Structure 1
């Protein structure tokens, strides 16, 4: 606001300066030059309220009026040097900057040449000599500079909007991955518990109601996660923030829920401190454990024990999940491990999965504690 008031003050001072210099005192054409200057300053004042189409149209019309006045001065003031003036060219230069910065491309392309011509022609409209030619060159330099600043600012804003759109798309994609992983985890647990309830229905019917309660709880958690993430994906206008969906504390809950379902027993070992970790690291560690436990339920036949180890050593976090089951055939076209590898790679980490010594399957991820220098 202060810069805007300063600009208006400078233009008003230039109008007064031109008047004191006698640029508006020429008989017949003085009032016309004063009117042109006031129109130019008035359009600058009104420019913030003009849109991307109205601004270049109004600026082009003003520049055309200025060219007509220059042509009229050329016809009737052969021996005079009173074609000069600074208020009108200064206002036209500012309008040139604004048109290049925020005018619609098609309209700006038509307005910019007319504005440039109106700025440069006025000094030499009456007589072409050394002084007027130098002034025309100075005006041309000012016009080119203004156009460059306006165009550069426009390209910078376009690039920022493109980056913001790419970031929103990336974040929505990330939330879609979250949606897949969370729902897959809960749904897999529901399937396992339902299968267990069917087996217990004939042998131990008293265990069926607790199993149904656990199924209901897992279904409610899946629906809550789905509503939360789908709501963010639908928010097309606002910024989608990367929220701390889970951390090291939630890893313990994952392991406890896995053991509560029945079947294999899961054990969690934590080594080191995890209080000062970035959200990206804690969320990714949670994701590794969740994906690994989901794969154990799906593919580890005859598994009796799962060991989850999360340790911190220096600037690295190691997450290791291993089981003692016999791996079933795993489809290579699935999104689980592939998505996990992409997620870990986003923060500069690495993940490996394969058979472990003594039988079973293991997933190990190494995550950097600091992700400041990582380009996602």
Structure 2
């Protein structure tokens, strides 16, 4: 009789040592899978992006800001990762539904087996099994309702912590000891819900969820401190207790930290996209100002002059109107060229002005009434020797400076324009004798000039200037602009 009892108990003990650690192995494998899934949504952030610099020879104002899609794709990493994340964002219900099904297939059978074999009343067992299944269903709504799913998941897990261990002959024969329900593999769904609320809700909800999880983790430690299930593991009770606190803390901190990392990354990408959009808007606004402002100033000056001379010298009205029409047509061409730069297919076809076009620009200013002193580029180099980007910046500086003279000093103002080619830079000087300047607060034009010059590594200065004009009875006040624009040469 005694031998029969020994023979029947020995296989059972062997099964206990084999099956119960398998329950923990299933839980550990599920933890790894869930953490990999959560970490994959964070993605590789890569190096911190920097503001692009202007390439030598570029004809744009500065290197165009990347579009949101291009920037986002570069930061996210590979095209494959971007496609996966895009698919997940466009189909959150389907993606999370597949995740819920996968976790359910992996985790639910062992949990249902424990709960169904416990010697509790049938309604209690049915309620616990329903709670277990509901915990998995919450995964489907983890992104669309992160706070609600976390609250519901916390309630289910609290019930798992508070109820007694699952006991009974079948449980003891299978697992070798009473099983704490909180140790069922499905409990790690709580990590997914904690990650989701940290990733998709604001800081307030995120920290509240962390506090709830910390309290829950403390209750789990207290609940498992003297768990009989620990005897089935190849660990001493002292080692079990020493490992319990850091393991439970990891189950709380790691998912929450991964969620916060994802949220910070998403906000960073959104801020960078907004910055790229703002930079592009500023670039377009600057180009519109440069293209239209000069032509409008010339047209207004011509129209006012024609109106004043209409009665005394009718013969000058028609030529003035012709010049207004010509200037308007040139402005239209400039606008069309600007619109072409916004079209990737037409960008290469849009010609950009060069220092060789300064003669025509200053000739229009002379016809508007300015007294222009200009002897051409002070250099033996040809226009072809000037790189495109510095040449465009020099043209825009002269254009904006002359436009400012027309707007603020008016016609009949003397303007001296100097463009000097030096070994390593272009020096542009535009000075007028339009009288003292009361307010030198920079407007869009001066700020745009400075941005252009600094974008290619140069520097711009401007302010009041005094001219020595002995034939006019002494010094004459005015305004001067000076730009040093690198050309990529070697200074002697």
The TM-score, its normalising length taken from structure 2, stands at 0.55
Which structure 1 residue ranges, 5 or more long, are not aligned?
230-242, 371-376
- Whether 1:193 and 2:302 are equivalent positions in the alignment is yes
Q: How many residues align?
A: 346
Displacement of 1:63 after TM fit? 0.9
Q: Tell me, in whole angstroms, the C-alpha distance in 1 between the residues paired with 2:255 and 2:317.
A: 78
1:88 pairs with 186, 189, 204, which one?
186
Is 1:328 matched up with 2:328? no
Q: 1:55 aligns with which of 127, 130, 146?
A: 146
Helix, strand or coil at the partner of 2:226: coil
Structure 1 residues 182 and 57: alpha-carbon distance in aligned structure 2, compared to 1, 3 A threshold? same
Work out which of the residue numbers 199, 202, 209 in structure 2 matches 1:111.
209
Aligned counterparts of 1:95 and 1:331: Cα–Cα separation in 2:
64
Match of 1:339 among 447, 455, 473: 447
Work out the CA distance in 2 between the residues paired with 1:306 and 1:333.
20
Q: Which has the larger radius of gyration?
A: 2
Structure 2 residue aligned with 1:134: 243
Aligned-pair CA distance for 1:15:
0.7
Mapped to 1, the partners of 2:108 and 2:160 lie a distance apart of 20
Alignment match of 1:207 (pick from 316, 320, 324): 316
Aligned to 1:26: 118
How far apart, CA to CA, are the structure 2 residues paired with 1:24 and 1:254? 90
Deviating more after overlay: 354-363 vs 262-271: 354-363
**1:288 CA drift (Å):** 1.3
How far did residue 55 of structure 1 move?
A: 1.5
Alpha-carbon RMSD across the aligned residues, in angstroms, is 4.6
Q: State the Cα distance separating 1:103 from its structure 2 match.
A: 1.4
User: Which residue does 2:141 correspond to in 1?
Assistant: 46
SS in 2 for 1:99: helix
Deviation of 1:205 after TM superposition, in Å, equals 2.8
- Whether the aligned pair in 2 keeps the contact of 1:284 and 1:343 (CA below 8 Å) is no
Q: Is the 8 A contact 1:349 1:367 kept in 2?
A: yes
SS of 1:125's equivalent in the other structure is: helix
In the TM superposition, what whole-angstrom CA distance separates every residue of 1:205-249 from its partner, at most 9, and x where no partner exists?
A: 3331231243355567779999999xxxxxxxxxxxxx9999434
1:264 equivalent among 359, 371, 384: 371
**Local SS of the residue matching 1:64:** helix
State whether residues 177 and 339 of structure 1, in contact with CA within 8 Å, keep that contact through their aligned partners in structure 2.
Answer: no
How far apart are the structure 1 equivalents of 2:135 and 2:420? 69
Q: 1:321 to 1:197 in 2, by over 3 A?
A: farther
Per mean C-alpha deviation after superposition, the further-off stretch among 113-122 and 143-152 is 113-122
Deviation at 1:115, TM superposition (A): 3.9
Higher relative contact order (CA 8 A, sep 6+): 2
